[in-house]
Amino acid sequence: MSADEADELLSGAAAELAHNGFPALPARVIMALTGTEEGRMTADELAARLSVSPAAVSGAVRYLATLGFLRIGSLPGSRRHVYTLPRTPWYTATLTKPGVYRNLIDLLTSAAGRMEEKSAARLRIEEMVDFFRFFERRMPQLLEEWQRERQSAPMSPPPPTTVPRSP
């Protein structure tokens, strides 16, 4: 599979995320990072790959870093930033709408099937597909369990949340 073909398929996955409410450029950025061997890119690399301005990339990566979907670091000996996927897969934070994953599963399965069998990008994408399949299968049960728990327990305030900060 050529890099252009992989980019096209991952763009389809990004479009599906955007169609379901995820901001379009952050979706494109996270899919571009996911589709790289290293799981990291600079702003210039992202801008070139996505045909957008570095300023647009800056806004998208700030959004993604706030969600904990990527980390912002610096290249050694440089003032340039590098954006890296976290050790914990970014998609584990997307646990709200199980039905939206069917098209994404299909697009990613197609993308992975066209990549080198043992490549890091393919392994990441296959793990993502496995996660979405599991989630899609389990979410209805979890929602039912949650509803039963909420009906039997008094309402309590939600726990305090913290926003992940990039280094």
pLDDT per residue over 89-144, tens digit each? 666 555 444 556 788 899 999 999 999 999 999 999 999 999 989 988 887 787 77
Burial group, residue 14, by CB count within 10 angstroms (0-12, 13-18, 19+): buried
End-to-end C-alpha distance for the chain, whole angstroms = 35
What per-residue confidence (pLDDT) applies to 57? 95
Distances (CA, A) of 17 to 27, 78, 149, 151, 165: 6, 33, 30, 32, 23
Q: What pLDDT shows up at residue 99?
A: 59
Strand locations in the chain, DSSP E? Answer: 40-42, 71-74, 81-84
DSSP 8-state class, residue 158: P
The Cα–Cα gap between 7 and 22 comes to 19
Report all structural domains of the chain as residue ranges with CATH numbers, in order of start.
3-152 (1.10.10.10)
Sole residue written with tokens 């647009």: 56
| Residue % of the chain over a pLDDT of 90 | 50
How many other β-carbons are positioned within 10 Å of the β-carbon of residue 10? 24
Spatial distance between the Cα atoms of 1 and 80, rounded to a whole number of angstroms: 31
